[in-house]
Amino acid sequence: MVTIKSHREIELMRKAGKLLAQTHEELEKAIKPGMSTWQIDKLGEEIIRSFGCIPSFLNYNGFPASICVSLNDEVVHGIPRKDCIVQEGDIVSLDAGLIYEGYHSDAARTVAVGEISDEAKKLIEVTRQSFFEGIKYAKAGNHLHDISNAIGDYCESFGYGVVRDLVGHGIGKNLHEDPQIPNFRQKRRGIKLQAGMTLAVEPMINMGTYQVCWLDDDWTVVTEDGSLSAHYENTILITDGEPEILTIL
Ligand code: MG
């Protein structure tokens, strides 16, 4: 069931979104070569708790950390580790969520560690832009898959692989609510969008094939061909006009 949020709920989700945007901003600034992914997670958790919020991901279906930290060919759900050190030239996808007064916000960014290749920069930028291409269609009266089609077509025009096994989602009192939001072209139009829906739109884009596999930890998703992957996500509010992006400052 897709829920329509009340004014009160929207106010809480706005606040949750702003705090998460601030978390990402602080995390991005702090990332330096030589840090372990465990340190990145601990810092993220500290920031979230300093706002009086709860990390959405910690213990979610057994996930053992607050921030998903995915390096290079890791697509999403990387588990932070003390022995995983980020190096100059790496790209790091940070996916974070928090709960404020019972409401979740969810957002992801891929960040560069020091100087990265031009190819990697382009992948990150196209992934980010694909979100904005998608949400051009995110308004009441349009259909959900208008968003999916726009994201997928944009990324494929660069020859990139659009991950199919993982999708965006509705969000609110629960981290994952209906509907599922694919990032590639769909045969059907999907549900009609209505004002008051809150959605986490999150393209996951690979430099090579769209195919992914899971590591033995049953969490970490990696590209099948070992190519780089980037992730960009925001929680948005559907309105009768332009969508409101809740997780940017
Ligand atoms: Mg998400």
**Looking at domain 7-245, which of 3.30.70.270, 1.20.1250.20, 3.40.190.10, 3.90.230.10 is its CATH number?**
3.90.230.10
Interval 77-104 mean pLDDT? 98
- pTM greater than the 0.95 cutoff: yes
- Ligand 1: centre distance to CA 63 (Å): 14
205 alpha carbon to ligand 1 midpoint, in Å?
14
Ligand 1 centre from 106 Cα, in Å? Answer: 5
Give the alpha-carbon dihedral of 173, 179, 182, 186, to 10 degrees.
-170
Q: 21: CA distance to ligand 1 center in Å?
A: 14
Q: How far is the CA of 211 from the centre of ligand 1 (A)?
A: 19
Question: Ligand 1 centre from 116 Cα, in Å?
Answer: 26
How far apart CA 163 and CA 218 sit, in angstroms, is: 17
What is the pLDDT at residue 48? 98
Å from CA of 229 to ligand 1 middle: 16
Dist. CA 247 → ligand 1 center (Å): 12
pLDDT of residue 221: 98
Note the pLDDT of residue 196. Answer: 98
Tokens read off for 68: 């998903």
Closest CA to 234 of 105, 84, 55: 105
| pLDDT tens-digit series, residues 93-150 | 999 999 999 999 999 999 999 999 999 999 999 999 999 999 999 999 999 999 999 9
Among 136, 138, 128, residue whose Cα is nearest residue 24: 128
Q: What residue ranges do the domains of the chain occupy?
A: 7-245
3-state secondary structure 143-175: EHHHHHHHHHHHHHCCCCEECCCCCEEECCCCC
Helix axes 144-156 and 118-135, enclosed angle (nearest 10): 160
What is the 173 CA–ligand 1 centroid distance (Å)? Answer: 14
